[in-house]
Amino acid sequence: MEWISTKEMKNEDAPNGQVLVQYLEPSWGYWSVEFAIGYFDNPKDYTNPNDGEGWKLWNPENKINVIAYAKLPEEMKNPFDGKTQKDVYKEHGTYTPNLGSVGL
């Protein structure tokens, strides 16, 4: 995964969609580097150039101070596509199976 600096980035160079971001979070008198999924709300996508708020977290949509971003690999497929909740329960014995995620 390659990190791309946002220093001197122009709106035309901004990525589309979700990306992994490194951003600065204020914390007790210093700046902590944090990682999250974010996106660039690009002013060039609006008819009013004052619209578009720049870098934001994916959820919640808070504005953030991004220092670098990395493009995500292609979207993973949903293992439950085409299955009902009953199908998942029959297959896994629960409605919320752990599919290898840490911390669930």
In a domain, 103, yes or no: no
Whether residue 22 contacts residue 67, with contact meaning beta carbons closer than 8 Å, is answered with yes
In a domain, 99, yes or no: no
CB-based burial label for 19 (10 Å; 0-12, 13-18, 19+): buried
CB-based burial label for 54 (10 Å; 0-12, 13-18, 19+): middle
The counts of H helices and E strands in the chain are: 1, 5
In a domain, 97, yes or no: no
State if pTM tops 0.95. Answer: no
Residue 5 DSSP class: E
50-90 pLDDT, tens digit each: 788 899 998 888 999 999 999 988 766 778 888 888 998 89
How many domains does one find in the chain? Answer: 1
Amino acid code (one letter) for 34: E
- pLDDT for 104 beyond 50: no
